[in-house]
């Protein structure tokens, strides 16, 4: 053979090129995905350079040793590619390394048997030399045991492809091509072994050629989709950085995965449960809320707010349940978002908008809203008591506005205590200044009786001014009743007329005008 042969030279150049790129992959920051791919590429380059040397030389023993070296890459490369696929699909260094060790044991045994074959002849029944394109290479006829090991390597290759294909359903659409191209790349050596013989097409070192194509394609995919930083390799880091609790339940409704935020939330009502013990728990062991259980068990998308009542605090959670996973409905995703602070702010804003800040009863706006609700529900008759504290200005003038505020607070407490909503179905509110209102679902006669009873109750209550001096509160009340829907403005106008009459008649009395 002449010293310069283009084809072996091409194989050699590709081998060194791929080896160089495999070393570049190990630069920091690296992770298990890049390391496993780098090792796979180093094995591929080893296979290619030993194939090129085999095509260059003519010595039979040297060619046999080079073929044995090729078997190291041929047996071990599928193991590392499987680990590469597993770590992309489900990042778990400890678990995936265990898989590789278990699957790598038969491959290592196969390599040992190949190197010791001249002693026992278990792997090769015949070794000959044949010439293709003017290049000599070894041709091997495997024994039945050798065929079993070859079948095992094919199984590992198909398992790797299956791992990629199975995970495509859970990937964002724009990343699915990465798995598809990776599968095609890994299948190239297998396709070359199975298809080319049927095409009667003979290529020297055809497996090395397919390894070069596989390696270049994998490097392209890595560069194009960057497995080092794009989903799902960095999925764990993404999940752990989220404030939302991410919880995954499997087909048997057992917990598959939970991030740190999710564990902290569950730990609030299950402080005794260690994170490692949560994995495997069923949904009904972790949650008691029926909406969560029904959403998970029925595989339905749902969203709702959940109030968790604890001994020392109440927690408000936004719960989102979504079916995901293989075949669309096997895995249930539960997302818990802590909205306690948001709810407290909302409640505070609601209180400010609907309740009087001084007396903590309904303000005018909320009072009118509740009246309109009674109209919509046709809850008749409706009686409106409009009250005004008698001589309230004297409290302010004599004792100051601080004492005046105290009088308003004390009166609001008395009003609320007397007209208890559970007893009279009443609504109590501050209309403005020293003016208060009460809505009762009673006719005029019974409402008038309650108004008189309230005035009598007030006479039994004294206000202590500055902790010493006692003062009595009296109130004038204007009452109006309606049996049909009328506006609040009209009700107020009629009640105000009655109140004016009560004041003119000497105060501390009830006057009635029917609307």
Which residues does the annotation mark as catalytic? 434
Instruction: Check if the beta carbon of residue 444 is closer than 8 Å to that of residue 477.
Output: no
The residues pairing with 332 across neighbouring beta strands, listed in sequence order, are: 249, 323
φ and ψ of 270, to 5 deg: -135, 65
% helix, strand, coil for the chain, step of 5? 60, 20, 25
Q: Cα–Cα distance between 231 and 114 in angstroms, integer?
A: 40
Quick count: other Cβ atoms within 10 Å of Cβ 150? 16
**8 A C-beta contact, residue 482 and residue 380:** yes
In angstroms, the CA 176 to CA 170 distance is: 9
Q: Which residue has the tokens 């798995």?
A: 179
- Looking at the chain, the number of H-run helices and the number of E-run strands are 20, 14
DSSP category for residue 229 = T
Q: Which residue, 231, 220, 123, is CA-closest to 174?
A: 231
Under 8 Å between Cβ of 387 and 428: no
What length is written for the chain?
515
């Amino acid at each position: 053979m002449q010293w310069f042969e283009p084809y072996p030279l091409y194989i050699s150049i590709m081998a060194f090129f791929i080896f160089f790129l495999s070393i570049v992959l190990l630069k920091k920051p690296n992770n298990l995905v890049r390391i496993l791919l780098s090792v796979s590429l180093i094995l591929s380059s080893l296979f290619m350079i030993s194939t090129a040397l085999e095509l260059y030389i003519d010595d039979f023993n040297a060619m046999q040793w080079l073929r044995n070296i090729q078997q190291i890459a041929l047996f071990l490369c599928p193991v590392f590619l499987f680990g590469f696929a597993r770590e992309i699909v489900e990042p778990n260094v400890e678990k995936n390394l265990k898989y590789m060790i278990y699957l790598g044991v038969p491959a290592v045994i196969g390599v040992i048997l190949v190197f010791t074959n001249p002693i026992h002849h278990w792997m090769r029944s015949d070794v000959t030399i044949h010439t293709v394109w003017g290049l000599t290479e070894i041709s091997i006829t495997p024994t039945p045991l050798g065929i079993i090991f070859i079948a095992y390597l094919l199984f590992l290759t198909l398992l790797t492809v299956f791992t990629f294909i199975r995970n495509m359903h859970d990937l964002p659409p724009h990343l699915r091509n990465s798995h598809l191209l990776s599968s095609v790349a890994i299948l190239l050596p297998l396709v070359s072994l199975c298809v080319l013989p049927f095409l009667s097409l003979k290529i020297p070192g055809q497996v090395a050629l397919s390894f070069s194509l596989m390696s270049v394609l994998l490097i392209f995919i890595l560069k194009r989709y960057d497995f080092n930083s794009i989903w799902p390799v960095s999925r764990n880091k993404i999940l752990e950085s989220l404030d939302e609790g991410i919880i995954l339940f499997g087909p048997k409704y057992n917990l598959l995965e939970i991030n740190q935020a999710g564990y902290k939330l569950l730990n609030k009502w299950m402080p005794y449960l260690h994170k490692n013990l949560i994995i495997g728990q069923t949904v009904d062991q972790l949650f008691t809320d029926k909406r969560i259980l029904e959403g998970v068990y029925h595989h339905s998308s749902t969203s709702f707010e959940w109030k968790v009542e604890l001994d020392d605090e109440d927690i408000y959670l936004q719960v989102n349940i979504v079916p995901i996973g293989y075949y669309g409905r096997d895995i249930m995703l539960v997302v818990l978002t802590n909205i306690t602070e948001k709810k407290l702010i909302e409640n505070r804003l609601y209180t400010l908008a609907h309740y009087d800040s001084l007396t903590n009863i309904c303000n005018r706006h909320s009072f009118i809203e509740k009246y309109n609700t009674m109209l919509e529900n046709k809850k008749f008759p409706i009686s409106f008591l409009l009250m005004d504290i008698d001589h309230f200005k004297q409290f302010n003038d004599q004792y100051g506005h601080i004492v005046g505020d105290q009088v308003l607070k004390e009166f609001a407490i008395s009003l609320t205590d007397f007209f208890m909503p559970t007893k009279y179905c009443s609504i109590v509110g501050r209309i403005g200044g020293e003016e208060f209102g009460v809505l009762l679902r009673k006719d005029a006669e019974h409402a008038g009786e309650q108004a008189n009873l309230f005035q009598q109750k007030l006479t039994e209550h004294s206000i202590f001014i500055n902790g010493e001096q006692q003062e009595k509160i009296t109130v004038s009340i204007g009452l109006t009743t309606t049996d049909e829907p009328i506006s609040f403005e009209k009700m107020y106008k009629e009640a105000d007329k009655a109140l004016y009459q009560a004041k003119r008649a000497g105060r501390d009395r009830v006057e009635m005008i029917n609307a």
